[in-house]
Every structure is written in structure tokens, then in C-alpha cells.
Amino acid sequence: MENTAVVWKKENGICTITLNRPEAMNALNGDLVNGMVAAFQDCYDESVRAVVLTGAGKAFCLGGDIAAASKYGDGDLQAFFRDFTVPLSRLISDMRQLPKPIIASINGICAGVGMSFAAACDLRICHSKVVFKQAYTGVGISQDGGFTQMVPLIVGFGRVSEMIFLDEVIPADKALAWGFVNKVVAPEELQEETAKMARKLADGPTKAFAASKALINKSMLPFLECQLEAERFGVMSTSLTEDYREGIAVFTRQKVAPEFKGK
């Protein structure tokens, strides 16, 4: 069966990758993560000089598809997260190693692993109605997708701690003030402003950009793969807790609100 969870188009030196599960607010499942891996691998094509990552519909990415996780059953949750996080770790590494600049064009809610995707990009632009949410701890699980490596580097120790422990909604203007996004525009201007930014990158010194990105990685992210593996362990461990079962009960509409017991 053809994988349509991610679609991409290469045109005039720019590859636009679109998360294409609008009915699920682009929540991450197996098809989407594998589709993203394939899309970013295709960006090694020498004709591609800049990449745009965006979402179809009203969301950029709501996070992980918790409904899909719940279908594995309690006894198989670790199997689900093992299947899920192995290609996810590869994807984040691929995004950082890609010798082309990547723009996250954040078109709607960006939560959980959606924030990890945005953080793995080189630049982030969103519109003024976009909201962000850490979301992991809200369902009783720890972070993945390089969140704990890259988000602290972008926003700082105190602010990422606020995200994780308070898990409040972050509006676009606050995300800009914190430095998580580079630019906020009006909703009707997002596509045009993204295109302008991508065109500037695609017309720029591609080899110098590639070398610069590699140097940033070496300086700021020398242990990314180790952190991704540590995150995988954390997710697989917390997926077996009673608190996580409380969290997914809300998403599967078995409960209105979680009652965390710290177990």
C-alpha cells in the first residue's frame, strides 16, 4: 500500500515536505515517521538546496498518535515504543546531518514530538495564531525526538523546565520572545513569507551552509545520538507506568482528566 502520510515536492531548488495526516492533526504514527525518513533522504538530491517542513490542514503536528499506542495493549506498549522510536531517532539524526538548511513552516498547533521536529530544523517561522505545547508530561511520559537536547539549547534551561513541569500552552508571541521561533507573521502571510525565506536559502552558498551546519552540530550537538538513545530508554520506561495509562485514558476518552498517582 502506498504511504501517503508524508508528501513532498521538489521545485526550483526547494523541497517542501508536508505531513499529510490532517484528519489526525498530523499526529505521528509509523507511516508518518517512515515517510519523513524517506522524504529527508530524498533531499540529498543535489538539485535540492533548501527544505521546508510543514503540515497539511490546521496542525503542524499534534504529537505522537496515542490512539495508535493504545491499540497495542498494556503488555505490548514497550514494543510499540521500540517500533516507534527507532526510526524517530534516525529521522532526527538525518535532519541534523542533512547538509541543507531546513525551515519549519509551522501552520498550526505544534505539540509533543511536533516541537521536536521544529527544533531539529534550522529555522522556524509560524503565524500569530499558532500555539505550542510540550505535552509529553501531560500524558505521563518523558520526551523523545531530541526534545531534551535541542529545545534547551534554543530556549534555555529555565524555560524548558517551565515547559516540562508546568506544560502550559505557549502562544506564538511568547515562542518568539523565548527564541523558539525566528519569525511570526499573519496567518495569511505564512506561505508567502516561508517561500521568501526558502528562496533566499536556496539561492545562497549551499556548500558554506552545509559546512556551517556541520560545525554547529559539532559544537552544540556532539552527543545527539547518545541523547536520542537515552530518550528512547526514558519513553519505554515511562510507557509502563500507571501514570501513562491514566494519560492515554484521556486521549482514548475513557476519562475526562488524568488522576496521576506518581506510580
pLDDT at position 254, please? 77
pLDDT at position 248, please? 78
The answer, as to whether pTM is greater than 0.75, is yes
Checking if the pLDDT of 209 tops 80, the result is: yes
What band does 90 get if pLDDT is binned at 50, 70 and 90? very high
Tell me which DSSP letter residue 261 carries: -
pLDDT at position 93, please? 97
Instruction: Determine the average pLDDT of the residues in 202-214.
Output: 98
Say yes or no: domain 6-187+223-251 is CATH 3.90.226.10.
yes
Phi, psi of 171 (to 5 degrees): -70, 165
| Rounded distance between C-alpha atoms, residue 35 and residue 19, angstroms | 9
More confident residue, 240 or 15: 15
Checking if the pLDDT of 74 tops 60, the result is: no
pLDDT at position 258, please? 84
Please report, in angstroms and rounded to a whole number, the separation of the first and last CA atoms in the chain: 41
Encode 73-84: b = buried (16+ Cβ within 10 Å), e = exposed: eeeebeebbeeb
Checking if the pLDDT of 179 tops 70, the result is: yes
For the chain, give the mean pLDDT. Answer: 93
* 18-37 per-position pLDDT tens digit: 999 999 999 999 899 999 99
More confident residue, 44 or 83: 44
| Rounded distance between C-alpha atoms, residue 216 and residue 222, angstroms | 9
Whose cell is 501517503? That residue is 4
